[in-house]
Amino acid sequence: MGTPNHSPAPTDFLPELEWRNLLKDVTDREGLSEHFSTGRRRIYSGFDPTADSLTIGNLVPIMMLAHAKRAGHEAVVLMGGGTGLIGDPSGKSAERQLQTSETVERHVAAQKPIFESVLGQVDGPAHTIVNNADWLTKLSYIEVLRDVGKHFSVNMMVQKESVKSRLNDREQGISYTEFSYMILQAYDFLHLYRHAGVTVQFGGSDQYGNIVAGTDLIRRNYHERLAIQANQEREKQGIPSSKVVGFVPNDPDVTAFGFTAPLITKADGGKFGKTESGAVWLTADRTSPYAYYQFWLNCSDEDVKNFLRVFTFMTREEIETLEVEHAKAPGKREAQRTLARAATTILHGEAEMRQAEAAGKALFSGDIVSLNEKTLREVFSEVPSSEHPRASLEGTDLIELLIETGLAKSKREAREFIANGSVSINGAKAEEGRTMRSADLLHGSVIALRRGKKAWHVTRWVD
């Protein structure tokens, strides 16, 4: 559970989400706005432990939970330790590989610090992290079929897009296991509604069907309990039981709501959160703060406007003012720089953001001597590199090394590069006749060569 901070008076934050392009479908917009305006509410979103980290796309619902806290409501993170044993078919064209309970537990534990990093620094009521394995793994099969499954129409479930597409694919199909995922997610909402006072669920737009199923289950359960109570009273009076009361979809006595955010896309149609080296992750062991900072810094002018709204806490006025300034001098990339600073600080903290920014400047300027070993390794993680025996370092001819590393094609070309001052060793220009020496080693093992402004090569000297 997060540490309680300053708690503002509860407000309706749907308009805030709307101008930030974080609102798409709402089960009852007017009712939910009133619900948020009239008291502190508990709101949750679920996260799937398919890996030991989350990707940048998962940051969207985490930011929305942060906005809930900022608006004076209680954020609840639901970790899918139970549903992760099954797997959500949404967005999948084939059956998931089932994971062991030990793997899922390990992933849940590894993901928790992400939520603490983002939500822990946000003013508002304390946030809570729960694991649905705590209740789902205790349910019996008969109990689920009798008390939950009877409220679900197979006719409705097969119309869900992720199910329909798999049913039409004879090669893949869908197992009963994944088909049942909707029932488990709906039960999560019912459990949190009953036992934790949670009244609102949200997720990505691909989750809307599951979210609606949860609100419906809560209402059906409510009317079923009314009918049972009524029949118990009739039996006490010696009157025969009546049939179960019908389901009332929008019963005002049941306060259960859901909404979704649109899936984030790039202006050029490319997939958001992907780089040449793979997915952008939310833990430093998977994507370093430096690489994370660079991801935001390198986004396009078309994307930066939306990303500032979605992935920072900047106000509308601040963003619109920045957009005007950026339009005057887009070459300065001040909007991207501001986004990179804000987004990296939110996830990794200000100290790591400063280090990442300094590393980027050092790489651009060539002044890399001041970088610590960890940052130096991160900065050059994707730069061409080669290994050389340490015993041969002293006296190695720079010209030969330039050819060996591919920075020059011939001795003549290497001499020309050195003569015109375009070759540097660890950021310092190399003079003619230069040979390598042990004093050139950074952190005892690395020498970085550069030709021109961008052609780097890292030589690693090993025993």
The domain boundary, picked from 235, 261, 287, lies at 261
The pLDDT of residue 24 is 97
**Per-residue CA distances from 47 to 43, 121, 129, 381 (Å):** 14, 20, 11, 30
The domain boundary, picked from 379, 394, 424, lies at 379
The pLDDT of residue 6 is 64
Q: How confident is the model at residue 234 (pLDDT cuts 50, 70, 90)?
A: low
97-117 CB burial, b ≥16 within 10 A, e <16: eebeeebbbebbebbeebbeb
The pLDDT of residue 77 is 98
Total domains present in the chain: 3
User: Considering the chain, what percentage of its residues have pLDDT values greater than 70?
Assistant: 91
455 found inside a domain: yes
CATH number at residue 449: 3.10.290.10
The answer on 141 and 253 residing in a single domain is yes
The answer on 360 and 424 residing in a single domain is no
The pLDDT of residue 383 is 86
The answer on 243 and 154 residing in a single domain is yes
CATH number at residue 93: 3.40.50.620
Give the pTM: 0.85
CATH number at residue 299: 1.10.240.10
Which residues span the domain enclosing 358? Answer: 274-379
**Per-residue CA distances from 19 to 15, 23, 268 (Å):** 6, 8, 22
The answer on 167 and 92 residing in a single domain is yes
Which range is least confidently modeled, 78-92, 388-402, 421-435?
78-92
The domain boundary, picked from 328, 360, 379, lies at 379
d(CA 191, CA 137): 13
The answer on 391 and 374 residing in a single domain is no
